[in-house]
Amino acid sequence: MPAIQNKKLEAMRHSAEHVLTQAMLKLYPGLKMAMGPATEDGFYFDFDFEGKISEDNFPKIEEEMKKIIKKDLPFKKENLTIEEARKLFKNNKYKQEWLDEIENKGEKATVYWTGDEFVDLCNGPHVASTGKIGPFKLLSVAGAYWRGDEKNKMLTRIYGTTFPTQKELDKHLTMLEEAKKRDHRKLGKRLGLFTFSKFVGPGLPLYPPKGALLRRLVNDHVEDIQSKEGYQQVWTPQIAKAELFKTSGHYDKYKINMFKVLSNYSDEEFFLKPMNCPQHTQIYASQPRSYKELPIRFTDFAMLYRDEKPGELSGLARTRAFSQDDCHIFCMEKQVDDEIDKALTMTKEIMAVYGFKYRYRLSTRDKSKPQDYLGDPKTWNKVEKWAEKIMQRNKIEH
């Protein structure tokens, strides 16, 4: 989940999510609560419920939420041992699974009480009491697999949002309505830019002539700018031996997201490539290089393939087949600052043509999951601090 910029708003939305869950338990006693966070745009919660919930039920749920908010119940934090938490949630398999993870990390369990009426496994943050929650609105209902895994049970997910003032909420709701009109999935179909076929498969877009032309124009624009900056186009095949990905580390860390390719003539493993990095390193390594040649900049518009979960596919925003202007720079350490500065300037020039409003996110490790990363932690620390300084020097908010 992206970081939420406004911590007070995060606390309010997290608290509203607890109020939603409390209201649902009151109205539908048979359901089990699973999990749900505050998000960048609101909040959601997943419920294990054998009945059916639709947006027609929202007025009743919202009315119950308003009653809880009106009571101005305090949010109270309590630290528990794993054993105490297991007893508290003894009839909830989802909470037991979360507690397994907490126990494996050697941590204690934290719960938040809403008055004395409701409790959930939670690290916060929360507002002081339910009365501090601003105007809210339930937005939609959808199905979601427990923990995003289609092998698990399908749960009922309810989305909502809240803001400090009615004016801010109304502005957000108006924006959502306008966004629906401009939904790229509707526009793409209406304008003949892209389509999908059940015979081709989910997440595999098809581009008719208009869409293919638009793709080419976008590529040409990027290629022109990259060429001026010294990038050289390369071409790489769409499949590669498993040995390549074992060497790069993707086989162990990313194989679950890769499509395996079977040969009729060999038992050797091949995969459709999910990224260009490993193959670009092989082009670089294909001949002796001198430091005088550096930096060497490669760019590649090859198709990439990732085995995304069915529930996460969404128009062109999340597909299983896509291309990107994938660039890799081979340089000396003393050239890194200058190369990143140039790449940031080039990005601004490319994006300026489209008039997009955008922001930067600096991706760093999740230090709680060191097993997911390759390399020495000292090198990671150095590079992360380095990247942070470059962002600050370029006065880029992130």
Query: What are the pLDDT digits (tens) for 213-246?
Result: 999 999 999 999 999 999 999 999 999 999 999 9
In this prediction, residue 181 carries a pLDDT of: 87
- Domains of the chain listed by start with CATH number: 7-182 (3.30.980.10), 209-331 (3.30.930.10)
Please compute, for residue 186, the number of CA atoms within 13 A of its CA located in the half-sphere on the CB side. 6
Q: What is the mean pLDDT of residues 140-151?
A: 85
Contact between 160 and 43 (Cβ < 8 Å): yes
- Partners of 388 in the β-ladder: none
Alpha carbons 51 and 31: distance in angstroms, whole number: 9
CA quadruple 374, 376, 378, 382: dihedral positive or negative?
negative
The pLDDT of residue 5 is: 52
Whether residue 266 is predicted with pLDDT greater than 60 in this model: the reply is yes
What is the identity of the amino acid at 220?
A: D
What are the pLDDT digits (tens) for 59-91?
999 999 999 999 999 999 999 999 999 999 999
Taking 70 as the threshold, does the pLDDT of residue 1 lie above it? no
This prediction has a pTM of 0.69
Give yes or no for residue 51 having a pLDDT over 60: yes
| CA–CA–CA angle 225, 231, 232 (5° rounding) | 120
More confident residue, 2 or 397: 397
Q: How confident is the model at residue 2 (pLDDT cuts 50, 70, 90)?
A: very low
Q: Is the pLDDT of residue 338 over 50?
A: yes
